[in-house]
Structure 1
């Protein structure tokens, strides 16, 4: 059975691509070329075929090719067991984006997830474990969204409601209106937190099952406490009630601080290097990179197990800091997933071990040449 894969990719006025076209088979895709040629831009184009803002987290207006009169667009044909499906997304008049599936307007952005799921690793994520908590939350929410496509929208709605609460506190708004906003915030917050904890539990269980593999270090994952001085409710209703009570009682403190100081938006992802029983942030640069790769590979297996769709992996400059043995281990692990992976690098020799398991595309100044 041929694995699910992109057989055709078309870009219009996207980043540095005025127009680009790629016809692909089911093998991995290696993109090589100099820095600034557009390799990461092409990965970003694939990443916007999923909920959220893609691998750079950029606003959609910034995806537009400067000076072009055409709106940006990305279209792909996805080969599935039921035959090919055409997925397209592009600029909408309101500054967001629209989605079309098989020639018809999609009912939602999340509808793309019925056909493909996407995960990625970029050099910007190399400092994930030692960087700010906000980066780890975004990373976690990306993992959750790959399992639960509506999660990204819930996070966006939560952040919008929190900004409304902060403004009401600052302006001394109507307490009744503030209570209504807090109730909405609690409903969204409970949904987000439970989705995070459930996803982490399943991911950790899968990591424990494969810890003896040894190709990449294993992680122990946990969330920091949501409440400082109280046990965490396990049901959605109880959690909503506890969050509502938390925010009602902290209005004075939050007004003085100028922000909402407690809630799911303050939770951190705690990562431990399991084999060495130490915080991931204390590992060497190479250990942290390998740990991150192991996490993504484990999550890809979880998505396949839970949804029946193995995610496409977008791996930007992934091989540059891996020794030859670990590169071979990575390529073997990618083969084991049974999915199409997109890998970039300036030196094609780094991908020699893939042999004919990959198709190579040269990228230069926003132009693509399949070898």
Structure 2
């Protein structure tokens, strides 16, 4: 039984919910209803109990109920080995940002939520991950890393903000000294991003090879397309120095291109089906789905092993694309992870094998009712 789970969830003016209240125990949570009823909106609300923009990456000003004052809120109680913790988030006064409160007090940062729970998710929008643009795979990778290292997402945002400043300065023929200062800032965050990614991916790769058979899903080979063509320095200071020199020498090229042509924002993630020795992009849709589920499950175990917190999983419409054998493998793996999992679907029968291992709710037009 999980020692960390969401026991209370409250939504106010969020998406299609004027209000919603769920009182939960440690079991899995199954949400069923017609398409468009609000199932994904509900787990999106849960996903906002972590750093970032949640599973849809939506601007905060778009989350409020239509016709409301724009001030949405998500509140929860998290049961932990050290007692219950109240974690909530909602719109800031300007609506384009959000605030976080923990036990009734303003949190020092959104990363503070990660001290009490970690979250991973899988949605239908991720089904094209392997064959889609590299930016999608990079964001997927950074989401995995952030679940292990909560400050990673902020480092990525800081780098991108500094890079935009550099691009503007190049376009305006800005002061070289100011460019050097911006490039130094970029190099510091880029180094942190690089080592967080490579360390996390190395640990995930090792665990994947040793434990994927336990999940019932295929083993995924995972690797990064190198950030630099030449060997990358192995120390943070060495990489920072190297990047500063590269960006300084590339100013003319980048000015002509209108963008920064080299850095962690250009990295891609390579994924292969190890059992077939085949790039994931060439696999069937069903195989790609199985690879992605296997990756999430193994990463959840890695998070549990490294942080002591099994992440709460949000699996949107996952069961409909699995045959009975794979559904049973998924449910059994979730039990072994000792975590709480929120699952959505249109057909309650897809979750029948969970039996008493799950608590079921019916979702319809922005209302949530417990199934008897």
Q: Assess same fold via TM > 0.5.
A: yes
Any idea what SS the aligned residue of 2:54 has?
A: coil
1:215 corresponds in structure 2 to: 216
| Cα shift at 1:325 | 0.6
Give matches, 1:20-99, under 5 Å.
20-69=20-69, 71-94=71-94, 95-99=96-100
Distance 1:192 1:284 in 2: 32
Task: Give the SS at the match of 1:226.
Answer: coil
Question: Could you give the per-residue CA deviations for residues 98-143 of structure 1, whole angstroms, max 9, x where no partner exists?
Answer: 1111111111111100110000000000010111100000000000
1:210 Cα deviation from its structure 2 partner: 1.2
Residues 247/105 of structure 1: CA separation in 2 closer, same or farther (3 Å cut): same
Residue equivalent to 1:334: 334
* Rounded Cα–Cα distance in structure 1 between residues aligned with 2:308 and 2:222: 24
User: Secondary structure of 2:129's partner?
Assistant: coil
The corresponding residue for 2:310 is 310
Measured after TM superposition, the shift of residue 70 of structure 1 is 5.7
Q: Is the 8 A contact 2:61 2:70 kept in 1?
A: no
| SS of residue paired to 1:210 | helix
Relative distance call for 1:145 and 1:214 in structure 2 (3 A) is closer
- In structure 2, runs of 5+ residues without a counterpart are none
SS in 2 for 1:93: coil
CA RMSD of aligned residues (A): 1.0
Q: Distance in 2 between matches of 1:69 and 1:224?
A: 45
Aligned 8 A contact 2:2 2:339 in 1: no
1:225 Cα offset (Å): 1.2
| Whole-angstrom distance in 2 between the partners of 1:3 and 1:216 | 26
Measure the CA separation in 2 of the matches of 1:212 and 1:332.
Answer: 13
Aligned partner of 2:143 in structure 1 is 142
Cα distance in structure 2, aligned partners of 1:148 and 1:170: 34
Partner of 2:272: 272
1:262 and 2:262 matched:
yes
Shift of 1:272: 1.2
1:1-371 equivalences under 5 Å are: 2-69=2-69, 71-94=71-94, 95-213=96-214, 215-228=216-229, 230-371=230-371
Give me the whole-angstrom Cα distance separating, in 1, the residues matched to 2:172 and 2:146.
34
1:68 is paired with a residue of what secondary structure?
Answer: coil
C-alpha distance in structure 2 between counterparts of 1:18 and 1:314, whole Å:
22
Q: Which stretches in structure 1 are left out of the alignment for 5+ residues?
A: none
Q: Deviations over 1:60-87 (max 9, x none)?
A: 1111111112610000000111111100
Mark the CA change 1:212 to 1:342 in structure 2 (over 3 Å): closer, same or farther. Answer: closer
Partners of 1:151 and 1:351 in 2: CA distance? 35
Deviation at 1:2, TM superposition (A): 4.9
Judging changes above 3 Å, is the alpha-carbon distance between structure 1 residues 214 and 99 closer, same or farther for their aligned structure 2 residues? closer
Aligned partner of residue 234 in structure 1, secondary structure: coil
Instruction: Describe the shift of the 1:215–1:2 C-alpha distance in structure 2 as closer, same or farther (beyond 3 A).
Output: closer
SS where residue 310 of structure 1 aligns?
coil
- TM-score, normalised to structure 1, is 0.98
- State the distance in 2 between where 1:293 and 1:218 align: 10
Q: Secondary structure at the match of 1:76?
A: strand
> Per the alignment, in what secondary structure is the counterpart of residue 275 of structure 2?
helix
C-alpha deviation, 1:28, in angstroms: 0.3
1:212 Cα deviation after fit = 3.6
* Inter-partner Cα distance in structure 2 for 1:265 and 1:140: 12
Q: Give me the TM-score of the superposition, normalised by structure 2.
A: 0.98
CA distance in 2, matches of 1:84, 1:146: 21
Report runs of 4+ in structure 1 exceeding 2 Å deviation: 211-214
